[in-house]
Amino acid sequence: MYDLNLPSFDTKIRKKGEGLEIFDPLRRKYVSLTPEEWVRQHFVHYLISEKKFPASLIANETAIRLNSLSRRCDTVVYNRKVEPVLIAEYKRPNVTITQEVFDQITRYNSVLRVPYIIVSNGLIHHCCRIDYEKQSYHYLTEIPDYNEIKMNSEK
């Protein structure tokens, strides 16, 4: 599919009709293999394998209500109290990450109010930590591991 700026892993892909499907271990089912899904599966694998995020605390395609409309967050990470601590928005690799993409995840975050947001197209990843007390955000140079996120979200 696409070469990404993420570690490769042993994916489970099957042919379905005219298209392909990839197995999503979090949803425990095969889903349509789109370029965005390719990024999602690689990014989630990276969070679990490299950043030590517990798979049991990650959900893909999480439904939220935004201004009476139903929307889906690409990935939501929770703490052990099942409170959301991070949301991630994925785009296909050939999509430039623009202000419009950040506006989209910010709208989702107006519902969830997580301390961390991530936007990735599989090649470029942006991670921000939000400080609600100071009403500011800080771009991070790298994505923190789960223990750091957990520690900072308990404050």
Q: Using a pLDDT cut of 90, give the percent of the chain over it.
A: 73
Q: How far apart are CA 114 and CA 87, in angstroms?
A: 7
Report the pLDDT value the prediction gives residue 108, as an integer from 0 to 100: 87
Tens of pLDDT, residues 94-146:
999 999 998 889 888 888 999 999 999 999 999 999 998 998 889 999 999 99
Q: Which two tokens stand for residue 122?
A: 């599989």
With beta carbons less than 8 A apart as the criterion, state whether 5 and 124 touch. Answer: yes
| 3 state SS of 68 | coil
- CA distance linking residue 47 with residue 20, whole number of Å: 24
User: Hey, which CATH number is domain 13-153, 1.10.275.10, 3.20.10.10, 3.40.1380.10, 3.90.1570.30?
Assistant: 3.90.1570.30
Query: What's residue 155's pLDDT?
Result: 54
Distance from C-alpha of 31 to C-alpha of 145, rounded to nearest angstrom: 27
The pTM is what?
Answer: 0.93
pLDDT in tens, 20-45: 999 999 999 999 999 999 999 999 99
